[in-house]
Structure 1
Amino acid sequence: MPEYGYFLSCEEFGPADLVEQARMAEQAGFQALWISDHYHPWNDDQGQSPFVWSVIGALSEAVSLPIETAVTCPTVRIHPAVVAQAAATSAVMTGGRFRLGVGTGEALNEHILGDRWPPLHVRLEMLEEAVQVMRRLFSGEVVNHHGTHYTVENARLYTVPDEPVPIDISGFGPKSTSLAARVGDGYVTITPQDDAVTRFRKGGGGAKPVSGGTKVCYGTDRDECVRTAHRLWYNEQLPGEMGQVLPCPRHFEQLRPLVTEDMVRDNVVCGEDVDQHVAALAEFADAGFDRVYVNQIGPEQRAFFDFYRTKVLPQLPQ
């Protein structure tokens, strides 16, 4: 049966709020933390985007829960040698309780230095090479690498954990899922699809952990919850590759009319129906996930944690 964790949203909350949410998550009985890694929020209403590595440093002192980025892009905006140093330090600060979740990223966050935004097949090549570079650096040895996409010369990480940082790879389609199965220490995805889990496990992932996450909006007024989820996270209902190719929050805001409140009502658990909340997380367990993370949309954070502590978590498959 899976572990259940809380998903900290750096797009929606500032550093102090995120640390306080982590404390409440631990007190409520959640077993792990995910934290997003973005340069921009998806839209201005979300309104935040702190530097994830600074927040992880604070979290390492505030809670004893395992922490994972969901997910970091180590290919364009930040060189993988720098990500490796940040991840190694995070692992040391958390006493080995840190996992590095990585993915191919989005133009929203990665285009900011003016670099070309590559097509998916190139981004997958870059991600695989970045993983190779980071793994070599986690050894604490001097690394020289002259690859297709990255150069590293005389680089050595002096602050490293006792064990190399596990690298989980995010994937939504068959190509990225196959990459995760081949080179990842685990697999990260969002939707509870058992065919993706099967593809990962049969493609070489075996018994490595599969993690997924979902968003909910708890509150006593379901209609108000729907409006909140629509205002803050309508972007999650946009189809196709828009999430990967649009470069600015304002572009997502221009697409807001495409997403109706009814679409959110049909696709996001909103309100205080315990059975709906339990079913949303149990769906991941039924699909074979090892870890399931949930994020509360909007300001009702303390009420959400009380609700999950007393009514939801006790009913989930353990």
Structure 2
Amino acid sequence: MVAVTERTFSSNRVLLSAERCQTKFRRNKVLVSPIKWSPQCGQWSHAHYADLSTDECMMGVRRILYVYNGLGVSDVCRDQLFKTLSTLIHPDYHVVEYIKPEEIQCGLWKRNAALITFGGGYDEGFIGALRKEGLKQVQTYVESGGSYLGLCAGGYFGCDRIEFDKHGPLQVCDERHLKFFPGICRGPVFPGFKYRSFKGASAASVTYKPLSGQPVTFSSYYNGGGQFTLYGEGDSDQTVEILAWYNSLPGTPAAIVKSVVGDNGLAILTGIHPEYDSSLLARDDPCIQRFVDTLDKWDAERIDCFTDLLRRLRITVNF
């Protein structure tokens, strides 16, 4: 293999040292000439690549799972997502990193991305921080064959339109930009939601359809998420697959959906939090105490579900 590597810099900080540097690739190409400093992005860019075989490219390569870290994301949701991803991925193939809105806007992250994820919080914050350029970068990444995982607020964010707390004090009803799911996300599906609070949190019973085997029923952490409805009553869309249903709601609406986007891109959107490890919850909080034992009971099924979602998104897991 050609012994040429690219060092990645962000805000004057070396991310990969000489001892731990990874080969960056893009469509079976490797860096063969110097990269240039981009003052706007605060990173090196404009690299030139030479062709390599797929096998050569995969030697020593660890593609990145990016976790959004900026305005709109809950610190707890962000950290739960980061920890669970770090636990489940195969370390020979992937690494997990936080990514800021300004880094998303720059677009250089797309070269080595295996997945971009947005966790719980409020998606109006995502929109405000990313602005038009950042939204376009995420959209074009997925449309060009990338993978997106949106959980709770990230699930709303990935739809064509949302209806959140319609006619209520927290109402947000508007079109969304990414449009990975050709329909509406409506929520919260359970009452009592308040921002920065566990008052509306619960253990939501869902039935999940894995890649192989029979559907599995389990309970997952829930706090403010939505249900996913395709446009047009009774309509179907061959690019969309429902992966999980809320068991206790009338009509058992969709709790997790998968969409094929553009040129073989993939997006999975969830209203629940299968990434949440119940052992890390604030177990002394009376609101959490109401249902934490239920989450503990179904923890193995939760892990299986989240692992299955990662496999669907073309992530190599650790078992």
- State the TM-score, normalizing by the size of structure 2: 0.34
Structure whose CA Rg is larger:
2
**Structure with larger RCO (C-alpha < 8 A, sep 6+):** 1
**Bigger helix fraction:** 1
Q: Which has the higher strand share?
A: 2
